[in-house]
Amino acid sequence: MMDDAALCRLSARAARAAIRSGEITALALVRACLGRIAERDKEVRAWISLNPEAEAEAAAISADDPRPLAGIPIAIKDMIATRDLPTSYNSPLFGGHHTGADAACVATLRAAGAIILGKTDTTEFAACGRDAATGNPADPDRTPGGSSAGSAAAVADFHVPLALGTQTGGSTIRPASFCGDVALKPSWGLISTEGVGRYAVSFDTVGLIARAVEDLALLAEVYALPASPSLPGRRLRLGITRTPFAALLEPETRALFDALPERLAPVAEVAPFALPDGFEEADDLHRCVQMCEGANAFLHLARSRRALLHRDFHDRVEMKMGFAPQDQFAARDRLAALRMALERALQPVDAIIAPSAPGFAPLGRAPGNPKFNALWTAVQVPVLGLPVSGTDLPLGLSLIAPRGADRRLLEIAARLAPAL
């Protein structure tokens, strides 16, 4: 029988296989995860609440349960509604708030047999205001990244094998890079956001966080992400871009990208990738739409519950961020044109590689710079964050493909992971 330390380190797929074979029980797995949380969370502070019924739910899972996630514990970002646990959005406005219903993405997990272990800390409303209290497992003085801070840290520190986050700018992929996780920001619209706290509906996306590509593939099956044509057996054709913001890269990321062609040579042909003309505007256009939609999203709280709403949100509602409401319409039109131009440019390659963050996680609790993420979120394409080895602290890169090619990214990531 495995000890608790080994149980906590199992991938979700390996844990499912062990439960099915009778090597372990779902109850033993959940107890091991809860023990790890008890041991580590005073330092990491990933969790807002834990499910008091988790052990009872796990005890009811039999070895012959056919569901794809039967007995697998999972963390849920505290922006996502759960019927039996509070959903606070890290806001004093919603302390102890119960929605009484699951978000659609949580209901899908329960139907697949997952054990909702608890809720994880987040930047306030996954936007601004209060930072999460969570520390980076690799160095608690550093941020785990935001806004999916607790979810990324909980997976990286072996509290759970899987977690849900969200992304409106870079809130899944950047924390994954800072913590050393694998993560998928799916194509916009493929996973329902019903029951998820909304900020900018043009971009809000449920994010998937794991420690293994095979586990992201498992979640892709659970969420019925569309199939992609299988890649041919030839070597991969990959483009590399440092984005229009290359000047912001830290030395560790520059060194990684300098070494990538040689590092990936056994499995891929790698060449520089030229982004379409005008793509340097994508971050500003994203910010315009995000701020305008965010102003709409928080108007009711600014008017009805003014005292407890953080000043950052009042500034957005009052349009102090440099945009007028009319600006969003032209910005959306321009983003649509850039989206189509990018997908045309992507046709000759299997995917492109870009930085996931400027560099290592910075000190403090701030979410981190989203510039290397927001441009992809703005054009609604899937992004897969993949960690690399051989660095002093966790560091990741992003794989990008056209909309709907999420499973193709998973296949590419599986091929690249051994070289990275």
Three-state SS for 238? strand
**DSSP letter, residue 168:** S
Residues in the chain: 420
Query: In the 8-state DSSP scheme, what is residue 92?
Result: G
Whether 42 is catalytic is no
The DSSP symbol for 132 reads: P
Paired with 236 in beta bridges are: 268
Question: Is 171 one of the annotated active-site residues of the chain?
Answer: yes
Q: Which of 11, 49, 91, 147 is catalytic?
A: 147
Active-site residue, selected from the candidate residues 77, 119, 185, 371: 77
Antiparallel, parallel or unpaired: β 383-387 and 396-400: antiparallel
List the alpha helices (DSSP H) in 265-358. 282-304, 311-317, 327-345
Q: Out of 148, 151, 171, 187, which one is annotated catalytic?
A: 171
Which has the closest alpha carbon to 98: 79, 111, 116, 84?
A: 84
CA pseudo-torsion sign 64, 69, 75, 81: negative
CB environment 79-110: b (16+ within 10 A), e (fewer): bbbbbebbbbbbbebbeeeeeeebbbbbbbbb
Tell me whether residue 77 is one of the annotated catalytic residues: yes
Helices (H), 60-145: 104-111
Active site residues per annotation: 77, 147, 171
